[in-house]
Amino acid sequence: MEKIGFGIIGTGRISDWVLRGAVLDPRFEAVAVCSRHPESAARFAESHGIASAYSDLDEMLADPAVRAVYIGTPNHTHHDLAIRCLRKGKHVLCEKPLASNATQAREMAKEARERGLLLMEAMISTLSPNFMKLQEKISCIGTVRHYFAAFCQYSSKIELLRKIISGEESCPVPSSFNPDHSGGATQDIGIYTIYPMVTLFGKPESVKAEVTAIEVPATEGPRRIDTQASVVFRYPGMSASVLYSKAADSRLRTEISGEKGSISLDQIHITRQAEMIVRGAPTSGRSEGAKPEDITAVCDPDEYLCEFREFIDLILSGRTESVNNSLDNSVAVAEIIDEIRAQGGIVFPADA
């Protein structure tokens, strides 16, 4: 069996999480890890049984065992790191969001295409078995008229953020809320609701966002950062809406509504249960109506396995783009997020 040697860039929590899924694909092999801090790279390598630890990226990229890289660093670093890796001839699986903005995403896509290399955004929403099941079944509900998705999860960093803003704490703003790091709710969790919409229906005709934002300390003075938003999109013959928040919880299901029925998912970011209702004859209020059909697919043993399976499949088949997580989809999503940020007055240093 052919194995793909991966270099891991970044030793934070997300890299630790995704590796637990990646190792379940027998074709995956973590051969190197890179961190700016040598001791962090060494600890991570020892923890995951990785042969080589580097604190210099160029040295890792020169390692002949490294055929592909996974980038698990803060958002604002994705563009520069991916470009460096591509220029060294490495395939790149980059953590979401692909870039800080659409300009960077387009540059990354151009670099990958010109070099004939695989660049893919690590978006699990659109690669999970249950999203594939949704794509298989969506024709059963006829012409789609509405898409709705929600991802609301109260952040453990909110209380710390409030103390930083009030001056009670003097530590740095957490990366997920840090404008210098291209953070915020849209980049962090809103993207999970938007990317599947674009994969299913393409880029919308219009975007109308209601953004809740706060001012946080940043390198060049206070900047606005989004904590939640509700967004309405218009498509020919249909509409879409998403709701996401890092300041509140919700258990709302995702639903795609068509003229012949509907499909709903328990959650959009990691779907573990799916059901479909096919519209029957009109009923009165006394009727129970049509019964839902459970269309849940067999879930992977780890939610991050799907992105590595897709990425390795593409490399071994000689393809340089995913169908669901295509570069065109990633660029379109970045353009939508740029528009949401613009409507909410959210500007990153990376936008300059």
Over the stretch 35-90, which tens digit does the pLDDT of each residue have? 999 999 999 999 999 999 999 999 999 999 999 999 999 999 999 999 999 999 99
Q: What is the CATH number of the domain that holds 39?
A: 3.40.50.720
Q: Are residues 132 and 251 in the same domain?
A: yes
Domain-terminating residue out of 99, 122, 145: 122
Inside any domain, residue 171: yes
Contact 181, 76 (CB under 8 A): yes
End-of-domain residue from the set 82, 103, 122: 122
Q: Is 21 contained in some domain?
A: yes
Band (pLDDT 50/70/90 cuts) for residue 286 is: low
pTM, whole model, 2 decimals?
0.96
Tracing tokens 């012409």 back to the chain, one arrives at 143
Mean pLDDT value across residues 262-289: 83
**pLDDT reported for residue 290:** 79
53, 88, 122 - which closes a domain: 122
The average pLDDT across 99-121 equals 98
| 15 inside domain | yes
Which tokens in the block code for residue 70? 């996974």
With CA atoms as reference, report the closest residue to 149 among 193, 190, 185, 191: 193
| Predicted pLDDT at 137 | 98
CB atoms within 10 A of CB 36: 12
Domain count of the chain?
2
214 and 194 housed in the same domain:
yes
Domain assignment of residue 310, yes or no: no
99 and 233, same domain (yes or no): no
Same domain (yes/no): 21, 137: no
What is the CATH classification number for the domain harbouring 215? 3.30.360.10
Same domain, 53 and 179: no
Q: Is the pLDDT of residue 147 over 90?
A: yes
pLDDT at 256: 98
The pLDDT tens digits of the residues spanning 199-246 come to 999 999 999 999 999 999 999 899 999 999 999 999 999 999 999 999
Are 232 and 347 within one domain? yes
CA quadruple 289, 196, 250, 185: dihedral, nearest 10? -160
Same domain, yes or no: 141 and 94: no
Q: Which residues of 200-216 are buried (b: 16+ CB within 10 A; e: fewer)?
A: bbebbeebebebebeeb
The CA angle 75-16-68, to the nearest 5 degrees, is: 70
315 located within any domain: no
Domain that holds residue 14: 4-122
